[in-house]
Amino acid sequence: MDGEAGHIDTFKYFLLPFCLFVFGLFALMLAVYFSASIPIFKHEGLKIYTTNAWIASENPNKEFYGVLAAIYGSVYTSVLAVLIALPLSISFAVFVIDYAPSKIKEPLIVATDIMAGLPTIIYGIWGAFVLVPLLKKYVMIPLYEHLSFIPLFSFKPVTGYSYLSAGVLLGIMVTPFASAIIREAYRALPFMYREAIYSLGATRYEATKLLVKQIKPAIVAGLLLAFGRAIGETVAVSLVIGNTFNINPSLFAPGYTISSLIANQFGNAFIYKYMVPALFAAGLSLFFIGLAVNVLGILILRRYGYGR
Amino acid sequence: MKRSLIALLVLLIAAAICGCTQNKVQNKGVSTGKTVVIIGDGATFPQPQINAWISAYMKLHPNVKIEYNGGGSGKGQADFAAGIVDFAGSDPPLKKSLWERLVNHPPAEGKNPLQFPDIIGAVVVCYNVPGVNSLKLDGQTLANIFMGKIKYWDNESIKALNPGVKLPHKEIVVIHRSDASGTTDIFTTYLSLVSPEWNSTVGAGKVVNWPVDRMGRGVGGKGNQGVVAELKSTPYSICYTELSYALKENLKMVALKNRAGNYVMANSTTIKAAAQHISSYIAPPYAGYKENLRQLLNAPGNDSYPIVAFSHLLIWKNYSDPVKGKAVHNFIKWILTQGQNDKYIVSGYVGLPKSITQRVLSEAGI
């Protein structure tokens, strides 16, 4: 390596392989997922994405897989999670930075960072044993009894394992991620802004509203990360979602997600001819959902005038 | 700054390379040295039992090191066929197609596959109904519950089987496995045997389409752990699981009506009784694919528990590494002789009757 030149360009080329390596990893992974799912595309075409069925058979001709219910469940629960994480993480960030007494500020931040690092199975077990019964008793049953004419609440919550349970659990799980990004961006706002706003006679609420507007890109980034975490979560979700192939508009219906489907089925998928390719194809759909969400994020940022 | 960065990088790479080569040397030392390493993978159902055998056997034979990873029956079969592992555990017997592949195109590590049962368990039906502490069901009623045809716990057909039990007017929640599972295969095969309607509408398999799911009263749990967790947190639910889990978690079990018409709970007496009656249906080790699950369920006999589950082991008759081959065969022989003694059997499992182990050993010729 030519270390003597001492020119900035050397450093640039020095970094290039690392960049290529990271990109190469992504491209290779995509290629592997695509090639591994070719058999299922040959077997049933795009029906893997447009139908809802999971017929495993020792006879390969009878095998048929359709993961529409899981795609639906993935998007449904992740959107719920983001909707829950959005107010939680912004409020938390504002409180910690602006209002928390300095004594509890750091402990609060450390606590959320620990939350972010907890193994997800811990959330899953807590979800199955505590969250699901609580939600069922105090949220689902009252809403069903009084408002079941609204499609969202129209499903009788017999078990409690549902999109709602998964969405709430995921919302709790991803809030620390979203709030860490939002918090740091909010902290980085120049103090001058605050002084300027208050000097104009703004109330605390008005000031916060203006300041939060300044960090919109960070909020979008935080939510994108939260969505990615939510849609990729496996164990915790599979403990609370009910694992049934349903497509139902109601929050209280049990369902499936792609990630929990893969976690559930992979162990014994090798017994069947087409199940492994079907699971790879299901994984491939997550790539596309991730891509779509990221593009959406970029578009939103552009609308705000960032990221051009 | 830049130089130190590069130096650091070179150092890191060097360390990584050293680490790799060192690992390789260590691995080699193990397989050629005195200690023999045997690796197995497969079914999770017998895992506690296999681990108990392994630790007992390694104490007796310190020069043998055995590992068993519970990756699932399917993974065990696939890894065994690829020569990645030395033995595999599989709950269902091998399919004919895979068996023929093992016979005709074995991996370099071994040839001539052998399959035999190593332990018996049972699939039990558990329930979580507050206030109800004993429950009897027959096959038809059980099938109707799992089909969703019986909606409430105080249904006439359940009441008729349980005079004197105060059953609540609550909806039944059916909990089943969400992953492909040998347990599901055994349970649904049993339901197919006892209910013609189940047989024609749902059928048997490692994964089936549960009619109750569509009614919103069915939920799936991943693995026995998942099913048990859901049962415990869901009142008025019913599930099927392995006996060992039911015992460990202290679940209430259903007494099932057997072929002779008696209501039996799963325990070592009733499971052994069933095994005795069906021992002739256990396929010889050199033709493992011939085993038919249907013949092993709903066994005749007054005391027989109807849903017994045999777990199987897969080994090679000839290993390309003779030292390893001998070690595997010795371990297997020990499992099928001393290993079947009660003191090595984990709670929830039942040792094989001597008539079966002796026959298996002589037919295997190891």
* Residue in B closest to A57 by C-alpha: B205
Across A271-282, average pLDDT: 92
Interface contact flag, A269 B74, Cβ < 8 Å: yes
Q: Is A264's CB within 8 Å of B222's CB?
A: yes
- Kindly determine whether residue A129 and residue B232, on different chains, have CB atoms separated by under 8 Å: yes
Q: Is the dihedral of CA B291, B295, B298, B303 positive or negative?
A: negative
Give the Cβ contact number of residue A194 at 10 Å: 16
pLDDT at B15: 53
b vs e for A19-40, b when ≥16 Cβ sit within 10 Å of the residue's Cβ?
eeeeeeeeeeeeeebeebbebb
User: Residue A199: which H helix or E strand, with range?
Assistant: helix A191-199
User: A-contacting residues of B 46-85, CB under 8 Å?
Assistant: 71-75, 77-78
Q: Which band of pLDDT confidence, cut at 50, 70 and 90, is reported for residue B34?
A: confident
Chosen for mutation from A130, A159, A256 (greatest number of chain B CBs closer than 10 Å) is A159
CA distance A157 to B196: 31
Chain pair A-B, CB pairs under 8 angstroms = 112
Report percent pLDDT > 70 for chain B: 91
Q: What is the predicted pLDDT for the residue at A181?
A: 92
State the pLDDT at residue B20. Answer: 45
To the nearest whole Å, the CA of B47 is away from the closest chain A CA by 15
Identify all chain B residues contacting A6, using CB atoms and an 8 Å cutoff: 2
Distances from the Cα of B321 to the Cαs of B36, B110, B327, in angstroms? 11, 8, 10
How much is the pLDDT for B4? 59
> What's the pLDDT band for B155 if we cut at 50, 70, 90?
very high
Give bridge partners of residue B175 from the DSSP assignment. Answer: B219, B239
Question: Which chain B residues have a beta carbon less than 8 Å from that of A10?
Answer: 2
- The arithmetic mean of pLDDT across residues A170-178, rounded, is 94
CA distance A255 to A253: 6
Q: pLDDT tens across B198-213, in order?
A: 999 999 988 898 999 8
Residue with the bigger pLDDT between A268 and A185: it is A185
Residues of A in contact with B213 (CB under 8 A): 244-246, 254
CB contact, 8 Å: B40 with chain A? no
Structure tokens at B131: 């206030």
Q: B121-150: per-residue pLDDT in tens?
A: 999 999 999 999 999 999 999 999 999 999
pTM above 0.80, yes or no: no
Q: Which pLDDT score, from 0 to 100, does residue B26 have?
A: 42
Q: Determine the distance in angstroms separating the CA of A245 from the nearest CA of chain B, rounded to an integer.
A: 8
- Residues B87 and B69: beta-carbon distance below 8 Å: no
Min Cα distance B303 → chain A (Å) is 33
B179 contacts A268? CB cut-off 8 A: yes
Q: Which two tokens stand for residue A252?
A: 């209280």
What residues in chain A have their Cβ under 8 A from chain B's Cβ atoms?
1, 3, 6, 10-11, 14, 53-58, 125, 128-129, 132-133, 155-156, 158-161, 238-239, 242-246, 253-254, 260, 263-265, 267-272, 275
Model confidence pLDDT, tens digit, residues A225-275: 999 999 989 889 998 998 999 899 999 999 999 999 998 888 778 878 899
User: B252-305 pLDDT, tens per residue?
Assistant: 999 999 999 999 999 999 999 999 898 888 888 998 888 888 888 999 999 999
Residues B247-254: what's their mean pLDDT? 93
Of A132, A155, A267, the CB nearest to B179: A267
CB neighbours of residue B330 within 10 Å = 16
- Which residues are within 8 A (CB) of B54 and not within 5 positions of it... i.e. 6 or more apart? B66, B67, B68
Partners of residue B229 in chain A, C-beta under 8 Å: 125, 128-129, 239
**For residue B18, what pLDDT is reported?**
47
More confident residue, B174 or B365: B174
The pLDDT score that the predictor gives to residue A241 is 92
Q: Looking at per-residue confidence, does B72 or B251 come out higher?
A: B251
> What local confidence, expressed as pLDDT, does residue B236 receive?
94
Lowest mean pLDDT among A35-49, B5-19, B113-127, B169-183: B5-19
Is residue B28 predicted with pLDDT exceeding 60? no
The per-residue pLDDT for B131 is: 93
pLDDT over threshold 70, residue B29: no
Whether the CB of B11 is below 8 Å from some CB of chain A: the reply is: no
ipTM of the complex: 0.70
Mean pLDDT of B346-361: 90
- pLDDT of residue B37 exceeding 90: yes
pLDDT in tens, A21-33: 999 999 999 999 9
Q: Which residues make Cβ contacts (< 8 Å) with residue B10, sequence separation at least 6?
A: none
Query: If DSSP codes are grouped into helix, strand and coil, which group holds residue A53?
Result: strand
